[in-house]
Amino acid sequence: MGKRDYELGEAELEVLRVLWDSGAQTVREVMGRLHERGRRVAYTTVLTFLTRLEQKGFVSSDKKDQAYIYRARVTRQSVSRSRIRSLLDQLYDGAAAPMVLQLIENERFTSQEISQLRKLIDELDA
C-alpha cells in the first residue's frame, strides 16, 4: 500500500472498517452501520468518504439497480501491516522489538493471546 496510508483519515478508516466487517454495502447501508456504532453522519458525508476512498484505490463500486455498491479493495491485514510499518519507522527507527516490548509491558492480553505469543516466540527461537 505504501504512501497512500498517510492519506487515510480516521473517518475514512471507520468507513473501511464497515466494509471489512459487513462486506459490500450501499452508501445508505454504510451510513446505517456507522449510526449503529454511534457515529452520526449524513448520507452526503458517507458518500464523500466512499468517493475519496475509491479515488485513492481503497474501495471500488459497481452500480446495481439504482444504487452503487461499494466494496473494499484492500484487506484489513494489508492496511494494518502498512500502518504498523509506518509507525515502526516513525517511532522506533524500523525496529520491531522495542514496539513489541512496549506493548507487552503496557497492555493486557488474554490467555489465548499469550499462548499465541509463546508459540510465535518458540517458532522464532527454533
Q: Does the pTM exceed 0.75?
A: yes
Position 60 pLDDT exceeds 50: yes
Task: Mark whether 49 and 6 lie in a shared domain.
Answer: yes
Mean pLDDT of 29-51: 96
Q: Which band of pLDDT confidence, cut at 50, 70 and 90, is reported for residue 1?
A: very low
Burial of 41 (0-12, 13-18, 19+ CB in 10 A): middle
pLDDT, one tens digit per residue, over 66-122 is: 889 999 999 999 999 988 998 999 999 999 999 999 999 999 999 999 999 999 999
pLDDT, one tens digit per residue, over 94-104 is: 999 999 999 99
Task: Mark whether 56 and 117 lie in a shared domain.
Answer: no
Q: What total number of domains does the chain contain?
A: 2
Task: Mark whether 68 and 7 lie in a shared domain.
Answer: yes
Task: Mark whether 13 and 50 lie in a shared domain.
Answer: yes
Residue 53 included in any domain: yes
Residue 56: CB atoms within 10 Å: 16
Task: Mark whether 62 and 10 lie in a shared domain.
Answer: yes
Residue 86 included in any domain: no
Task: Write out the residue range of the structural domain in which residue 15 sits.
Answer: 2-72
CB 14 within 8 A of CB 39: yes
Residue 91 included in any domain: no
